[in-house]
Copies of this chain bind each other. A is one copy, B any other.
């Protein structure tokens, strides 16, 4: 997820990047309790003091530890559009809390020392955690700035919603996965997406000359960020004015589409464009009508938008944790939830079958052994058939079919990269799954 701020004082661009390859952070952070945003008092007081002021205009709102406040208050900093929750047939979870979970032990993959589930939550700067077992809430906790009725930035978990909607349109026949993007959006003809198929975009096997390396000032991500920035453009700005204008300029890299999994946010934004063009609806409206309302969600979600009102499909969603749980449970139940078939069963099967493990093996994510990527979901291909939506700083919807378990976690880890967070997360999830399977 990316956000750019125009720093007018210096008349330059101050770029704020929340990224996947980011190595800008120092190694010593306040721990989860020290950096508790409530304790730190961000934006507290009337008015808040200069020390606790978190600003969009200087980029401070997205720097750790203030980030821990901002992830729960994105709309306070940015223009947004709502993903309306249900007004009728609102779903109510059954709750049967299991206090044993706190004491479950696991060994982090980067350690020899056992850790309890409860300890892992602090280790990972968890803001909210929900565990569903057989559809019932067995565990639910909130930390920091997140309230049960609040929302939290989903970061790249957003991608999974775009991918799922795209795959839904494929299942419904509105999109042909073998057609190229320019068939649906002719403006993409001269871009790298012109000869990329819907399937390649959904599985991110496109070959794009597009770097998300934030340490490189010439990386394309900066142009993307500038285009999507809803603030007024700088004086001499002549670049693309919104996400869609930028996407038309993305060029192809050396390789062919379809060969290597290359996780790049712009694939999702192109998919968002295609979805809107084909349905005549904004991503926010479609998500609300097709998924959020049928689920019976309670809290309006929202997306940050660019100056043209275009939702940031690749990372702009904020949502409530229980509502996310409804989505996860619906996926686990093959698309059926709240007394209706919300998504076709074939679509869920397609996700669970996964994408090309060969293409994934060739990617920079090859350390995630045997995983694949399908419809913007991460498929572990482990013995439990687990698969997940994943976002930087520790966001996830993690589904373990064998354990009949769904975990939703919102977090604000100081490190963006999930490779820093997975060692104390993935084995923790597995420990809960093992416990629930044997329960």
A interface residues with partner B (beta carbon < 8 Å): 5-9, 11, 43, 46-48, 53-58, 73, 75-82, 84, 87, 149, 230-235, 242, 244-245, 273, 276-277, 282, 298, 300, 302, 305, 307-310
- How many chain copies does the complex carry? 2
Q: CB distance B7 to A232 under 8 Å?
A: yes
Q: Quick check: B46 and A273 within 8 Å, CB to CB?
A: yes
Q: Note all chain B residues with C-beta closer than 8 A to A305.
A: 76
6 contacts between A and B (CB under 8 A): A8-B234, A46-B244, A73-B81, A73-B309, A75-B75, A75-B302
* Cβ contact of A82, chosen from B7, B53, B75, B79, cutoff 8 A: B75
Chain B residues near A81: list those with CB within 8 A.
73, 75-76
Per the bound structure, the CA–CA distance linking A53 and B242 in Å amounts to 11
Shortest A252–chain B CB gap in Å is 23
In Å, the complex CA distance between A69 and B78 comes to 19
Tell me the bound Cα distance from A81 to B8 in angstroms: 25
Extra 16 A-B pairs, beta carbons < 8 Å, given A5-B232, A57-B231, A76-B81 = A6-B8, A8-B232, A8-B233, A8-B235, A11-B235, A46-B277, A48-B309, A54-B309, A57-B307, A58-B232, A73-B309, A75-B75, A76-B79, A77-B79, A79-B79, A300-B300
A75 to B78 alpha-carbon distance, docked (Å): 9
**Inter-subunit contact A79/B57 (CB<8 Å):** no
Residues of the B chain whose Cβ atoms lie less than 8 Å from the Cβ of A79: 56, 75-79
SS class of chain A's interface: helix, strand, loop or mixed? loop
Q: CA–CA, A57 to B55, complex, Å?
A: 18
| Residues in B neighbouring A56, C-beta threshold 8 A | 79, 230, 307
A242 to chain B, nearest CB (A): 6
Residues of B within 8 A of A46 (CB): 244, 273, 276-277, 282, 310
A272: min CB distance to chain B, Å: 9
Closest 4 CB pairs of A and B: A57-B232, A46-B276, A47-B244, A8-B232
Q: What are the residues of chain B within 8 A of A235 when measuring CB–CB?
A: 8-9, 11
State in angstroms the CA–CA spacing of A377 and B31 once bound together.
50
User: In whole angstroms, how far apart are the Cα atoms of A58 and B55 in the complex?
Assistant: 22
B residues within 8 A CB of A11?
235
Q: How far is the CA of A5 from the CA of B48 in the complex (A)?
A: 24
Q: How far is the CA of A304 from the CA of B397 in the complex (A)?
A: 31
Task: Give the interface centre of A77, A233, A234, A277 by most chain B CB atoms within 10 Å.
Answer: A77
A6 to B282, CA, bound (A): 28
The residue on B at minimum CB distance from A53 is B308
Once A75-B79, A79-B75 are accepted as A-B contacts, the answer to whether A47 and B233 lie under 8 Å apart by CB is no
Q: How far is the CA of A236 from the CA of B310 in the complex (A)?
A: 32
Nearest B residue (CB) for A283? B46
Query: How far is B44's CA from A310's CA once the two chains are assembled, in angstroms?
Result: 11
A86→B158 CA distance, assembly (Å): 26
Identity of the chain B residue whose Cβ is nearest the Cβ of A233 in the assembled complex: B8
Q: Are A76 and B87 in contact (CB under 8 A)?
A: no
A87 touches B47 (CB 8 A): no
CB distance from A425 to the nearest CB of B (A): 30
A57 touches B308 (CB 8 A): no
A47–B245 CB distance below 8 A:
yes
Asked whether, in the complex, the Cβ of B84 is within 8 Å of the Cβ of A80, the reply is no
Are A57 and B233 closer than 8 Å at their CB atoms? yes
CA distance in complex: A245, B48 (Å): 11
Distance in angstroms from A222 CB to nearest chain B CB is: 18
User: Nearest-CB distance from A309 to chain B (Å)?
Assistant: 5
With a CB–CB cut-off of 8 A, which chain B residues contact A230? 56
Q: Give the contacting residue for A80; candidates B57, B58, B76; CB below 8 A.
A: B76
C-alpha spacing A232/B231, complex, angstroms = 8
- How far in angstroms is the closest Cβ of chain B from A34? 23
Give the distance in Å from the alpha carbon of A75 to the alpha carbon of B234 in the complex: 23
Neighbouring B residues of A57 by C-beta, 8 Å: 231-233, 307
Identity of the chain B residue whose Cβ is nearest the Cβ of A54 in the assembled complex: B309
User: In the complex, A308→B57 CA distance in Å?
Assistant: 11
